[in-house]
Every structure is written in structure tokens, then in C-alpha cells.
Amino acid sequence: METLIKAYRKAASGCRYSAARHTAQNLKMRLQALADAVDDNEQTDVYGDGALIEQFEQEIAALLGKEQALFLPSGTMAQPIALKIWAEQQRSPNVAMHATSHLQLHEHNAYQTLYGLRGVTLGSHHRVPTLADIQSAAVEPLAAVLLELPMREIGGQLPAWEDLVAQASWAREHNIKLHMDGARLWQCPPAYGKSLAEISALFDSVYVSFYKDLGGISGACLAGDASFIAQAKIWVRRAGGNLFSLAPYIVAAREGLKKHLPHIAARREQAIWLAEQLNQLLGVTTWPRVPQTNMFRVRMSVDVERYLNTATQWMLDNNVALITPPYETGEGYYLCEMTIGDAFTEQTPAEWQQHLARFAEQVLI
């Protein structure tokens, strides 16, 4: 099966057209574009100092409506640091998070092993957390609650705005810090009809990523008040994240912000349209059925081995990738994640409908 999945990935990455993600660039093109985006007078940052990094941090802080922001290499570093700061301030190691949190699923429990924190699980795997879930988790004194907006593992779903406000109000009333896993926060304003700053105002600290929706190389920011960022700088140094220079990551993040953020609302509408088309195909369903953001999950009822063989050849023949490589497979089902990026705009809706029709006739039979 691994050999089949590897071949599927290779075929998908080699396609001229893709329904998901951003248009691919080879490494030379990408680095050349970044070089062209740098002003002749710009200088690299040095250990977190310099106009390049400081101006970008100020831009992110302003976007999120926070006093300060701190650029660092990864979210895997950023989020445990945020929770550790709140745990020390609150004098409790207990931090609550959803069962599908990245910290729980994909980081080998670093927040516990390296930072001495104790996780308390919120809610169930297949729905957004509720105020009742937070209240139940707070039976033990909580330093902080981590909420992810939108929630990747359940198809980019979000709590209702009124529910989120109620959760934030309750946390503040009970002196519990609220931290946002905002890896994909950029997707949220169109769904809520709120600005990034209005959403972030509900949280004491916010993490954002630059390589997902914004197409950066890597990198993240933590945002919060001045005291929080001062503590974060110490922890980033302790964790080895205060690199000599982060210049390539900063330039890529800066350019990605300019290029992609203005189009997030349109990509949400494209995701809703594509999900509607997919739900009409035999054995295909999206989760949620109507996307709330520009990401969603696709589940296909298929013989996985046959599908991988047939779809791989179809992509090679048609130079079109419609369904992303699998996130999970099992007996009779194939699950993947779709995030709409600028690649979608390289074909018209009518052309995508033609591709989908051929795909259904030749693969989903």
C-alpha cells in the first residue's frame, strides 16, 4: 500500500492542474521570486534584531490587534511556549485542549515531556468544543485553554461566533488564559464576518503559521501583550529557536501575506462550490457537507488499492489532480484533506466540472 500511495503522491505533485493547494514552483523559481522581492537596501536580521524582522512582527501584531508579535521557526515550538508561560503565571501545569489538537496528535507529547505541562482533554473527537466541555475540564485548576480556529482534523469547522464569545467570557471570569492555535486563522474572517483583530481580541495569546494558507517556506508568530512576548523571547532562546537569521522565512511569509490573504474570501466560496460538486459523485462525501472555511475533508467509499492504481494512471493521463493524497485509509474508505489555494483559479468552474465528470466515469466506477 505504501508503494501505491507514494506513486499517487508523485503523480499528483507532477500534475499541471490541481484542485487544491497553491500552484507548485520548483525550488529555483521560488528562491528567485523571493530574491526579487527583497529591496536592494534591505539587510538580514541577526538573532531577532533588524528592520526586516521587526517591521514584519509589527505588521502581524497590528493585523491581529495585539501589542507585539514574535517570529519563530515553527508552531511546534510556539504553542508549548505559550502554554508554558501561562502555566508559570497561573501556577498550574494544567492546560486544556481538544482531543484532535496538533499538540496531542503530531508532536509526540512535547508539551508534557519538554515543558512539564499536563493536558486535559476537551470534548469529543468529532465536534467543536462547547462551553460545557470547558467547564467540565475546569474541575481541576486550569492555567489555559487552547482552542484551534479553524479545526483541521474535523474539516475546518468553527464554533459559532456567539459560542466562542461565551467561552472567552467564561474563561476570563474564571482567570483562565485563552490561547489560539491559529495555524489557519487566515481562513476565519470570511466565515465569521469579523476581522483578524476582532477574532484575536477574544484570546490572550495567538499563534499563526505562514506556510499553510500563505505559502511561506516555514515560520510562525506568537502574538500577545508586551509581557507575554518578553517571556516568549526567553523561552525561544531556551528552545534553540533564536536562529542567527530567519531572513528567507520572513521574506517568504511577508510575500505570502501580500499574495494570498486578499483572496481568502474567494477561496472559501470556491471550496463551497467544489464540495457541492464532489458530493454529487458516487460514494463521495465531504466533511462538513458545506465547508465553513476554504478547507474540508473528503471521504470516498472505494476499494483503496484499486482506486490508487486507477486514479494514479488517470492523473498521469490527464495532467489533473482532483483528489489530494490520502490522510487516512481503511477497509473500503479513503480520507483526504482539501485546502483551496491559488491553483484552483487556473481552471474555470466549467473546466473543473468536465474534469470531475471524466474522473467519475473513469475512476469512480
pLDDT category at 199 given cuts 50, 70, 90 is very high
Same domain, 226 and 309: no
Same domain, 156 and 235: yes
Query: Has residue 251 been placed in a domain?
Result: no
The candidate with the shortest Cα–Cα distance to 133, out of 152, 125, 206, is: 125
- DSSP assignment letter at 153: G
pLDDT category at 37 given cuts 50, 70, 90 is very high
Query: Has residue 144 been placed in a domain?
Result: yes
Q: Tell me: the pLDDT tens digits for 117-169?
A: 999 999 888 999 999 999 999 988 999 999 999 999 999 999 999 999 999 99
First-last CA distance in the chain: 21
In this prediction, residue 48 carries a pLDDT of 96
In this prediction, residue 140 carries a pLDDT of 84
Same domain, 150 and 296: no
In this prediction, residue 365 carries a pLDDT of 81
Q: Tell me: the pLDDT tens digits for 256-313?
A: 999 999 999 999 999 999 999 999 999 999 999 999 999 999 999 999 999 999 999 9
In this prediction, residue 90 carries a pLDDT of 96
Query: Has residue 36 been placed in a domain?
Result: no
Same domain, 270 and 323: yes
Domain that holds residue 100: 45-244
In this prediction, residue 125 carries a pLDDT of 87
pLDDT category at 88 given cuts 50, 70, 90 is very high
Mean pLDDT of 34-54: 96
In this prediction, residue 1 carries a pLDDT of 85
pLDDT category at 50 given cuts 50, 70, 90 is very high
Same domain, 174 and 50: yes
All 3 cell numbers of residue 166?
461565551
CATH number at residue 327: 3.90.1150.10
Query: Has residue 95 been placed in a domain?
Result: yes
Q: Is the distance from CB of 76 to CB of 114 less than 8 angstroms?
A: no
In this prediction, residue 230 carries a pLDDT of 98
- The alpha-carbon radius of gyration of the chain (Å, integer) is 21
The candidate with the shortest Cα–Cα distance to 146, out of 212, 204, 222, is: 204
Query: Has residue 252 been placed in a domain?
Result: no
Number of domains in the chain: 2
pLDDT-above-70 percentage for the chain: 100
Same domain, 278 and 322: yes
- Mean pLDDT (the chain, rounded): 97
CA distance 269 to 271: 5
The alpha carbon of residue 146 and the mean position of all alpha carbons in its chain are separated, in whole angstroms, by 15
